[in-house]
């Protein structure tokens, strides 16, 4: 039975995003799941993805390929 108090369009707990973005880390996929579920790319997502990747690259030992 539908919950009458459930906000319209909300899918229920633990719904995975409907849209998969290649190379998107799981942490960001989780944080941006609402827009991904609506098949939208949140404008902050690519900026965050770049920021997290740059941090990972900076942590790699010198000489290791990015």
Binding positions for another protein, rule: CB under 8 A: 3-7, 9-15, 27, 30-35, 42-45, 47-48, 50-51, 54
Give CA–CA dist 47/53, Å, rounded.
Answer: 10
Q: What angle do CA 20, 32, 61 make, to 5 degrees?
A: 80
Least separation in angstroms between CB 53 and another protein = 11
Least separation in angstroms between CB 31 and another protein = 5
Give CA–CA dist 13/3, Å, rounded.
Answer: 13
Least separation in angstroms between CB 30 and another protein = 8
């Amino acid at each position: 039975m539908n919950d009458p108090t459930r906000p319209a369009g909300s899918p229920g707990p633990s719904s995975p995003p409907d849209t998969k973005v290649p190379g998107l880390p799981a942490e960001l996929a989780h944080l941006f799941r609402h827009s991904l579920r609506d098949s939208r790319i949140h404008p902050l997502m690519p900026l965050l993805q770049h920021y997290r990747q740059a941090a990972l690259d900076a942590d790699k030992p010198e000489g290791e390929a990015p």
